Amino acid sequence: MTVYVDNMHESKLGNFGRMKMSHMIADTTEELLAMADRIGVQRRWLQYPGTHKEHFDIALSKRALAIAAGAVEIDMEQTSAMCRRRRDTGELGQADEAVEWLTAQVREAIQARNAQQVAP
- The secondary structure of 18-38 as a DSSP string is TEEEEEEEESSHHHHHHHHHH
**Contact yes or no for 67/73 (Cβ under 8 A):** yes
Which regions in the chain score pLDDT beneath 50?
none
Q: CA-CA distance, 36 to 58, in Å (whole number)?
A: 9
pTM: 0.85
The pLDDT, as a whole number, for residue 73 is: 96
The pLDDT, as a whole number, for residue 65 is: 97
pLDDT digits 0-9 by tens, 17-35: 888 999 999 999 999 999 9
Amino acid letter for position 81: A
**Contact yes or no for 27/20 (Cβ under 8 A):** no
Q: Where are the domains of the chain?
A: 3-118
**Contact yes or no for 38/23 (Cβ under 8 A):** no
